[in-house]
Amino acid sequence: MTSTELIHLIEHWLNSVDGPLSLDIDGGPVLLTRYPRGIGCSARLTTGKEVDDALLPRALVFSTASLQRFGWQAAALAYAEADKQLWLLMRHEPDEPQALCRALENLVNQRDAWQGLLFPERRKTDLPVTNLHTLAWSQGDWHA
């Protein structure tokens, strides 16, 4: 889905009376929910298994670092008893499609960072190899 398609989807949802909007962004569930004071954005940290007691203290340590890094835009970490998973929650006041897209992008970036920290075994290791000669050529041979 392109960003313009996402904007149109969100705009259609905002103009309807439907319940929460469920999206799958980069392989993980994301929800938009209406609240009296704005639109709530949430993303699940996909673990593939239930969260155990050993993971929770580690996650709380990272929540301090997240708050220092992202400031007032940091997503809050939450544990959902219903699905026994960790979720990141953000609050974005205006119900404007482009602002919500920016908030979703910020939330998904934070989700990816959290997953990399909490579940390092799930990181993708098949990164493409960059040929340094090609890189030097593309820079016009202006390299040290």
140 part of a folded domain: no
132 part of a folded domain: no
pLDDT(15) > 60: yes
Looking at residues 106-133, what average pLDDT do you find?
Answer: 73
Strand arrangement, sheet containing 21-25:
21-25, 28-35, 38-45, 85-92, 76-80
Predicted local confidence at residue 137, as pLDDT: 47
143 part of a folded domain: no
Do 20 and 32 form a contact (C-beta atoms < 8 A)? yes
More confident call, 93 vs 62: 62
Alpha-carbon span 103 to 88, nearest angstrom: 12
If pLDDT is split at 50, 70 and 90, which confidence band does 24 have? very high
Domain ranges, residue 112? 3-126
Buried-exposed string 81-115: b where 16+ CB fall within 10 A, e elsewhere: eeeebbbbbbebeebbbeebbebbebbbebbebbb
If pLDDT is split at 50, 70 and 90, which confidence band does 144 have? very low
11 part of a folded domain: yes
More confident call, 132 vs 74: 74
Lowest mean pLDDT: which of 18-27, 42-51, 101-110?
42-51
**Residue-averaged pLDDT of the chain:** 81
Question: Residue 122 sits in a domain of what CATH number?
Answer: 3.30.1460.10
Q: How many domains does the chain have?
A: 1
Alpha-carbon span 75 to 91, nearest angstrom: 8
84 part of a folded domain: yes
137 part of a folded domain: no
Alpha-carbon span 62 to 50, nearest angstrom: 19
18 part of a folded domain: yes
Tell me how far the alpha carbon of residue 42 is from its chain's centroid. Answer: 8
Question: pTM of the entire structure?
Answer: 0.77
